[in-house]
Structure 1
Amino acid sequence: MNWIYGIHAVQSLLKSAPERVLQLRLQRNRSDARLQKVQRLAEQQQIAVQWATAEELNQLVDGRHQGVAAECAEGETHDESYLFELLTGSEQPPLFLVLDGITDPHNLGACLRSADGAGVAAVIIPRDNSVGITPVVAKVACGAAETVPLVVVTNLARTLDKLRARGVWTVGAAGEAESSLYQLDLTGPLAILLGAEERGMRRLTREQCDYTAKLPMAGSVSSLNVSVATGIFLYEAVRQRQPG
């Protein structure tokens, strides 16, 4: 069963996709204003609440549930064609986030949260060698897993090539790049690409990058966690796109 847990994740699910909720369980005798808010939201959506003990919730989920868990149907993912629909209907230069081989659910969840905050049009991941939307991803994303479109593609390099043909340039994060992120123009139609936690971008994916960029590192460590780097890259693009 697919259980989503945690107050932010379940609350977002009830707001954005209540039809996916198959059953909702709240912890009995727990005095928490946030849980009461979840209960009211469920009642507004005409979703029945089942009461459970903390021990019963612990058996359902593998993580800190904060007194709430929801069994839900699988969320919607999109294919490559969705990207071109976005390009056709977009009035502003779109910003995409591409994650090449991210397998840690905590990292994907954090990347989705940053993508939501930055107004990313879609997050693109390969079908193979990548984590999908799991309960841990949804919990870490704090609702962003329900709001940011996730596009799953068979061949990531080919998708980037098709995007380039439609005017979308790709900037890849690479520690050995010559240019700093802050030297690049990130204002046009853009896909920001980050690679796996340890090995970075795969060769075929890297070859599709129009530019590569690095983050200035002033300390002793050579790189940042991929989710942290994602936030920095996205928000530099946001900063450059601000009017005035």
Structure 2
Amino acid sequence: MSERPYTSRKPKFQRQYGKGGRRDQQSWRPPHEIDVTILYGWHPVAEALRNGKRTIRRLLATENSMRRLDEELGVPLSVQPELVRPDEINRLLEPDAVHQGLYLEADPLPSPSVETLSGERVVLALDQITDPHNVGAIVRTAAAFGVEAIITTARHSPAATGVLAKSASGGLEHVPFMIVKNLADTLNALGERGFQRIGLDSEGGENIDALSLRLPLVLVLGSEGKGLRQRTRDCCDAIGRLDMPGAIKSLNVSNAAAISLFAVTKAVMPGAAK
């Protein structure tokens, strides 16, 4: 391994060229067993570096990206960055990953629990939504609407890392994941704490705008193909739908999440949805 200093106004960067070989992304392990979060791309990495709750293990950057971090980030780095060539980051990621010259390894963020949720903001629950691109888009939307937490199951859910984090475009730093073994049991526990549990389904009984909504509230979204499972539906206080005036009556789950979060937030937190 060779090292060569890189001169910068703020942190002292070093060039460290690593060995080849694609990194194991831990994609087969359930989310609750992932012990390292992989982030890449400008927004996910920059937001993680700004997040004081993140413990950073390793940061790789190309020369151009490192200079941009130095000029634009505006916060001290908690880890010594390694200056690398773009192809070295390519080898650590899946093919066609758009890393923009930045790669970061960090500890997972702390997770809330049923007992620690404040109920002062909307909570989102995902019922076996498996596409990391969709979940990432939902996370980004959730961050925009100030969602307190996202509940997912330990199985049949993507880990909060890699593609999901890239799709979330930095939103992962603002909305914590609460990973549970059984969604129905968790919804029942939230109900005991006074949470209103609202499911979203294209065949729901009422338009979501017509429901009487209040905090604390958890909005439950079903999977891309099957929607809400029956036991999940049985744990909800009401099932709402999004009425569409056009010829197509259903939406991608991430788009449905955005519209329903706007409607719900406007109803329970009027000042926040202006």
How far does residue 48 in structure 1 lie from its aligned partner after superposition? 1.3
Q: Of residues 65, 70, 91 in structure 1, which corresponds to 2:104?
A: 70
1:59 aligns with 2:86: no
Instruction: Show the counterpart of 1:8.
Output: 43
| Alpha-carbon distance in 2 for matches of 1:31, 1:226 | 33
How far does residue 108 in structure 1 lie from its aligned partner after superposition? 0.9
Q: Residue by residue, what CA displacement relative to the aligned partner does 1:180-222 show, whole Å, maximum 9, x if unpaired? A: 1111122321110000011001111110111111111222323
Instruction: Show the counterpart of 1:239.
Output: 266
How far does residue 33 in structure 1 lie from its aligned partner after superposition? 6.8
Contact 1:123 1:149 survives alignment (8 Å) = yes
Instruction: Show the counterpart of 2:10.
Output: none
Query: What value does the CA root-mean-square deviation take over the aligned residues?
Result: 2.2
Instruction: Show the counterpart of 1:187.
Output: 214
Distance 1:225 1:32, change over 3 A: same
| Alpha-carbon distance in 2 for matches of 1:229, 1:18 | 30
Instruction: Select the structure of larger CA radius of gyration.
Output: 2
Whose helix fraction is larger, Structure 1's or Structure 2's?
1
| Alpha-carbon distance in 2 for matches of 1:194, 1:166 | 20
Q: Percent identity?
A: 34
Name which of structure 1's ranges 32-41 and 223-232 shifts more when overlaid on structure 2.
32-41
Contact 2:222 2:229 survives alignment (8 Å) = yes
Distance 1:45 1:34, change over 3 A: closer
- SS, match of residue 8 in structure 1: helix
Instruction: Show the counterpart of 2:124.
Output: 97
Contact 1:11 1:38 survives alignment (8 Å) = no
Unaligned runs of 5+ residues in structure 2 are 1-22, 24-36
What is the count of residue pairs matched by the alignment?
234
Q: TM-score, normalised by structure 1?
A: 0.87
Q: Residue by residue, what CA displacement relative to the aligned partner does 1:23-73 show, whole Å, maximum 9, x if unpaired? A: 211112x379744446764xx134212111122222122210111111223
| Aligned ranges 1:207-222 → 2 under 5 Å | 207-222=234-249
Instruction: Show the counterpart of 2:16.
Output: none
- SS, match of residue 86 in structure 1: coil
Q: Give the residue type in structure 2 aligned to 1:76.
A: P
Q: Give the residue type in structure 2 aligned to 1:242.
A: P
| Alpha-carbon distance in 2 for matches of 1:76, 1:45 | 20
- SS, match of residue 70 in structure 1: strand
1:22 aligns with 2:57: yes
- SS, match of residue 199 in structure 1: coil
Q: TM-score, normalised by structure 2?
A: 0.78
